[in-house]
Amino acid sequence: MPRVAAESQEISLDGGWESPTLGELLKDLEDGHRKKDSGEDASVHHVLDVASPETRPVPFLLSFNNLCYDVRGKADSVKTLLNDVSGEVCDGDVLAVLGASGAGKSTLIDALAGRVSSLRGTVTLNGEKVLKSQLLKVISAYVMQDDLLFPMLTVKETLMFASEFRLPRSLSKSKKMERVEALIDKLGLRNAADTIIGDEGHRGVSGGERRRVSIGADIIHDPIVLFLDEPTSGLDSTNAFMVVQVLKRIARSGSMVIMSIHQPSARIIDLLDRLIILSRGKSVFSGYPTSLPQFLSDFGHPVPGKENITEFALDLVRELEGSTKGTEELVEFNEKWQQNQSPRATPMTTPYKALSLKESITTSVSRGKLVSGSTSSNPISMETVSYANTPLVEAYILSKRYIKNWSRTPELIITRLATVLVTGLILATIYWRLDNTPRGAQERMAFFSFAMSTMFYTCADNLPVFIHERYIFLRETTHNAYRTYSYVISHVLVSLPQLLALSIAFAVTTFWTVGLSGGLESFLYYCLIIYAAFWSGSSFVTFISGLIPNVMISFMVTISYLSYCLLMGGFFINRDRIPGYWIWFHYISLMKYPYEAVLINEFDDPSRCFVRGVQVFDGTLFAKVPDAIKVKMFDTLGNSLGTKITESTCLRTGPDLLLQQGISQLSKWDCLWVTFAWGIFFRILFYLSLLFGSKNKRT
């Protein structure tokens, strides 16, 4: 592995042992299996001859020069987050960016990873510009500061799903499993391989193990460049050291590791190859950790004995930041010191110029660095972004992962089903076997209004689902693990069976107990419209969760909108009584269409009578009048109308009730299709919100 020593500008190609790549580890496993099958001793260790030309590392050099990045604040004020920052890192190196909070560490990592759009300066890889290139996405990985993992998956399952997303589909499942097993050993996670990740409510792996799993999920394809935002944050010194040890092994296997870190220990400093210290966006030191004591001594602040050199340097920077002149003097001294040190600080020597970037990447792919969608016979394109799988395969893998994670939380499944069943049972016992009287008709309409609104309000429990998954989605799609529309399709595939089960449960609980009419055909339609209501409500809630990342705000928006839909849906006020300036909301009310559909399904039979004879006086001043007098009144009215009205005469049928409610524009099947169409519409909006809204917020 080419290594740049602090004392020399020459690169040693045969000095020291280097860690094998994942491809080499897999070759070792295959050799072991073949020996075992042939009866040979499978315990013989595979020795890597790093001095041979066949295993000589592929040279890479990432160089960044004069990076500047400003953001506009209030009143058009400009804040500089990066100011003329330069540096470089080659394969096999671990570059650490240090600085106090707000110094620009994470901003620099984001800038190098291509996550900042308005960056000024140049970033080159082997001399070719990659600042805004899609190529950088393909050959790199970015590990966020937070551990973004599915809590109910095991370590092995998490890495296996990552391999299915990131590794070429030409690899068999057994080969991917071998790669996962090799990575588990490389990360030191063998004892935790079958342990779930865990969360606040479920005990799982430790904090250090979780961090290593996060790193493993992003390096499953053995990226050429690995970016990490404070990978040791929140860990104790032992776990932090173990994480950096893993990163060192990753670098020695032929990758470049670039990370931000906050006050590393002395043991971690020994593992670092290059160091950049920032102060308010400016570089106050850039070089080898071993040269930092001499740098500070030349500046007039020698490091006291037994003092941690980085802690001393950061304390000095913090002290200078609080002074009148700030760190300007240190910045200027660093520039002059770098110029004096340049003959031995420049690693750009002949081997790095030997191969072009495309040649280097192609060679790396052939040696086991499986860039997504590429193989040694099909190297990646410098212009296009490729995915490892087809859209349907991506949707299948996403669905399988979601179901596996979701099935291990039975309390959530049972709670949601119980909510629907309890609501149905309560409604069934309240509206038990309704009769065909005027009051029974009114109670039927009240039941339908509450039942349809329940379908939508029950879906609100889906709000936190995507909000919790948002950053996992961002991390995975940033590096082309899968397409956005594949994620949306998988959401649909997973949600439809769940909603069907809830629909059938509610329909069975209420249809016959309430006394709804129409037989089996009416029951099947009742199931369909409930299913459509669940579908449109779930789609709306999913769209809101994709649009608004804050749980509380999204809940308020959802509940408010559904309340307005209930108000304008047609139960509390008929369509012909809604003011003209609000009639538009009546037509975009999600509850209008399923409510009208169930009313038509129930009352569309002209042979059913709901007001017969003297029942017409119920609820009026004539209700207490004796029936004999009511009959005489019918005789008088009949003579005036030229017809005979008796106590058994039907005065209002089901269709008459529908006209009274202003339901005459759509058939029940029209209402069903419109309700399903609302669901499709909100799924499209969800896709657009992910496509344009879930981006890195740096601009």
**What is the per-residue pLDDT across 493-551, written as a single tens digit (0 to 9) for each?**
999 999 999 999 999 999 999 999 888 999 999 999 999 999 999 999 999 999 998 88
Report how far Cα 468 is from the mean position of its chain's Cα atoms: 7
**What is the per-residue pLDDT across 275-332, written as a single tens digit (0 to 9) for each?**
999 988 899 998 889 889 989 898 888 888 878 888 888 889 888 888 888 888 888 8
Question: What amino acid occupies position 513?
Answer: T
| Average pLDDT rounded to a whole number, residues 558-583 | 90
Q: Could you give the CA distance from residue 183 to residue 190 in angstroms, rounded to a whole number?
A: 9
**What is the per-residue pLDDT across 617-628, written as a single tens digit (0 to 9) for each?**
777 777 778 878
Q: Are 685 and 543 in contact (CB under 8 A)?
A: yes
- Helices 484-514 and 438-458 pack at an angle, to 10 degrees, of 150
Check whether 588 has a pLDDT greater than 50. Answer: yes
Q: Could you give the CA distance from residue 359 to residue 84 in angstroms, rounded to a whole number?
A: 31
Instruction: Report strand pairing: 609-612 vs 650-653.
Output: antiparallel
**Strand, helix or coil at 87?**
strand
Q: When comparing pLDDT for 567 and 10, which is higher?
A: 567
**What is the per-residue pLDDT across 365-393, written as a single tens digit (0 to 9) for each?**
776 665 554 544 454 544 455 788 899 99
Question: What amino acid occupies position 490?
Answer: S
For residue 199, the 8-state DSSP code is B
Question: What amino acid occupies position 421?
Answer: L
Rounded to 5 degrees, φ, ψ at 626 are -55, 145
Which helix (H) or strand (E) segment holds residue 108: the answer is helix 105-112
Check whether 559 has a pLDDT greater than 70. Answer: yes
- Closest C-alpha among 519, 525, 488 to residue 398: 488
Q: Are 261 and 99 in contact (CB under 8 A)?
A: no
| Average pLDDT rounded to a whole number, residues 478-502 | 91
Task: Give the Cβ contact number of residue 120 at 10 Å.
Answer: 14
Mean of all residue pLDDT scores within the chain = 82
Check whether 350 has a pLDDT greater than 50. Answer: no
The per-residue pLDDT for 671 is 95
Confidence of residue 16 (pLDDT cuts 50, 70, 90): very low
The per-residue pLDDT for 368 is 64
**Strand, helix or coil at 457?**
helix
403 CB burial (10 A radius; 0-12, 13-18, 19+): middle
Residue-range domain boundaries for the chain: 61-147+222-341, 409-612+661-697
Q: Where are the alpha helices (DSSP H) in 322-437?
A: 328-345, 350-353, 357-366, 391-407, 410-430
The per-residue pLDDT for 451 is 92
**Strand, helix or coil at 272?**
coil
Q: Which fold has domain 61-147+222-341?
A: Rossmann fold (3.40.50)
Confidence of residue 8 (pLDDT cuts 50, 70, 90): very low
For residue 277, the 8-state DSSP code is E
Q: Could you give the CA distance from residue 351 to residue 262 in angstroms, rounded to a whole number?
A: 33
| Average pLDDT rounded to a whole number, residues 638-652 | 79
Q: When comparing pLDDT for 637 and 401, which is higher?
A: 401
The per-residue pLDDT for 34 is 45
Which helix (H) or strand (E) segment holds residue 509: the answer is helix 484-514
Check whether 694 has a pLDDT greater than 70. Answer: no
Least confident of 131-140, 231-240, 454-463: 131-140
- Helices 173-187 and 155-166 pack at an angle, to 10 degrees, of 130
Confidence of residue 456 (pLDDT cuts 50, 70, 90): very high
Task: Give the Cβ contact number of residue 341 at 10 Å.
Answer: 17
The per-residue pLDDT for 1 is 37
Rounded to 5 degrees, φ, ψ at 71 are -130, 150
Instruction: Report strand pairing: 274-279 vs 61-72.
Output: unpaired
Helix, strand, coil share of the chain (percent; to 5):
55, 10, 30
The per-residue pLDDT for 258 is 93
For residue 372, the 8-state DSSP code is T
Check whether 55 has a pLDDT greater than 70. Answer: no
**What is the per-residue pLDDT across 291-306, written as a single tens digit (0 to 9) for each?**
899 898 988 888 888 7
How large a percentage of the chain has pLDDT more than 70?
86
The per-residue pLDDT for 371 is 53
- Closest C-alpha among 668, 669, 673 to residue 532: 673
Q: Could you give the CA distance from residue 545 to residue 488 in angstroms, rounded to a whole number?
A: 13
For residue 129, the 8-state DSSP code is E
